[in-house]
Structure 1
Amino acid sequence: MPTCPLCASGDTHFYHRDRRREYHQCHCCSLVFVPPVFRLGPEEERAVYDLHENSPDDEGYRRFLARLAEPLGEKLAPGARGLDFGAGPGPTLSVMFEEAGHPMAIYDPFYAPDDTVLVGEYDFITATEVVEHLFAPGRELARLTGLLRAAGWLGVMTKRVTDREAFTRWHYILDPTHVAFFSEATFCWLADEWGMTVEFPAADVVLFQKN
């Protein structure tokens, strides 16, 4: 069985198969993931992302992102400095936080690949509709938490796994760039591993605070 890309456990089992690929689940952290053989290559992955038409001028997209921006923003001190990780081709969440008085850095491996922003310190980091795309979520999330100052916040937005029956009918698995699927149990496992607190303020939204 493939090794879990989040916790590196070899204790995984088959979870589901559709017409295109297989999905496995980890007994340790509960992550559901796509084995490496079914992942897209970089050019194929980029081609899917190039189809996205997100923009700060799209009020609907702003309302979508506000589900994370509002509960996280309530916890931030004035002028708190943030990083939007996986900003995509049309950075918008960073614009919203800058409008609220928070200086922002952005990073995206395809559209803003400036590694220098990944060596600073931040009061908060956001990753909206990002973690489901990560081939190595354990490594990437550990890197992000390492960039947080004491009492800093990590805000994540992703749809959550509920049960196997719902998973088989879930539109979220139809996106070929989605390869890691988190549940509430997975996020609680991460909080324990990191020694962080975790909150679920809204559907699909998770907030971690560094102790």
Structure 2
Amino acid sequence: MIKIITCPLCQSKNHSLIHKDRHREYLSCSDCRFVFVPKSFHLSEADEKLRYDTHNNDPSDNRYRQFLSQLAEPLLQKIPEKSYGLDFGSGPGPTLSLMLEEKKHHVELYDKFYASNQGVFIKKFDFITATEVVEHLRSPMLEFKRLTSTLRAGGYIALMTHLLTEETDFSNWYYKNDPSHIGFFNKQSLAYLAKELKLELDIYSERVIFLKKLG
């Protein structure tokens, strides 16, 4: 039986192969333009965790803090004082949450491997951060729906990921080479996501995106 491959963002069956290397294939959805790796090439969850365990996310590392400040600084300009947030995909060494708490905000943590507290999804947040997370999601639309449901009206989902642009030379793009990176957003796929979930899209830079919940 031939397995029908569907886009993990919009569920379309219309897609084309845009690149293939010795490890896996990369498809581009013809409808929402999301670029994704088919499930047959995904790491197992055990192998995925082994890879994350090698990440050295040290809160005392000034270079890492500087990297995260690309998102933290513009987010701090958007949210009210003493806001309540969620760091989604906080990883083995939560750092962004500490940076925001140093500015008097309160931040809960969720990570499927390191802080798997499902209770956060029944709470309501003023903001949600996801830094270097969305490129790992197996079911991105499902996860974004879940995040949006926990967000108060006027609240923000703040993303850090490396966007695909028209200038990207995909065959030589470093970001695709991480075997745990399985989905790649561009302006078109972000616009589709925002429209579907009634979010206002603000592409702040090639690495930082804000989605504001309307209504």
Q: TM-score, normalised by structure 2?
A: 0.95
State the partner residue of 2:120: 117
One-letter code of the match for 1:149?
R
CA contact (8 A) 1:15 1:164 kept: no
CA contact (8 A) 1:129 1:157 kept: yes
State the partner residue of 1:176: 179
Cα shift at 1:165: 6.3
- How many residues in Structure 1 have an aligned counterpart in Structure 2? 211
1:159 aligns with 2:162: yes
CA contact (8 A) 2:122 2:150 kept: yes
Question: Per the alignment, in what secondary structure is the counterpart of residue 127 of structure 1?
Answer: strand
Find the aligned partners of 1:164 and 1:157 in 2 and give their Cα distance.
19
Runs of 4 or more consecutive aligned structure 1 residues displaced over 6 Å after TM superposition: none
State the partner residue of 2:48: 45
Cα shift at 1:203: 2.7
CA contact (8 A) 1:67 1:202 kept: no
Query: What are the equivalent positions in structure 2 for 1:132-143 lying under 5 Å apart?
Result: 132-143=135-146
Find the aligned partners of 1:100 and 1:27 in 2 and give their Cα distance.
43
1:200 aligns with 2:206: no
Question: Per the alignment, in what secondary structure is the counterpart of residue 105 of structure 2?
Answer: coil
Q: Which stretches in structure 2 are left out of the alignment for 5+ residues?
A: none
For structure 1, which segment, 170-179 or 4-13, has the greater mean C-alpha deviation from structure 2 after superposition? 4-13
State the partner residue of 1:146: 149
Question: Per the alignment, in what secondary structure is the counterpart of residue 123 of structure 1?
Answer: strand
Question: Per the alignment, in what secondary structure is the counterpart of residue 204 of structure 2?
Answer: strand
Find the aligned partners of 1:101 and 1:32 in 2 and give their Cα distance.
38
1:15 aligns with 2:34: no
State the partner residue of 1:30: 33
Residues 53 and 165 from structure 1, CA distance in 2 versus in 1: closer, same or farther, beyond 3 angstroms? Answer: closer
State the partner residue of 1:105: 108
Q: Which stretches in structure 1 are left out of the alignment for 5+ residues?
A: none
Cα shift at 1:24: 0.6
One-letter code of the match for 2:78?
K
CA contact (8 A) 1:151 1:209 kept: yes
For structure 1, which segment, 90-99 or 187-196, has the greater mean C-alpha deviation from structure 2 after superposition? 187-196
Query: What are the equivalent positions in structure 2 for 1:47-66 lying under 5 Å apart?
Result: 47-66=50-69
One-letter code of the match for 2:131?
T
One-letter code of the match for 1:141?
F
Two-structure CA RMSD over aligned residues (Å): 1.2
Question: Per the alignment, in what secondary structure is the counterpart of residue 74 of structure 1?
Answer: helix
For structure 1, which segment, 182-191 or 122-131, has the greater mean C-alpha deviation from structure 2 after superposition? 182-191
Cα shift at 1:82: 0.2
One-letter code of the match for 1:120?
K
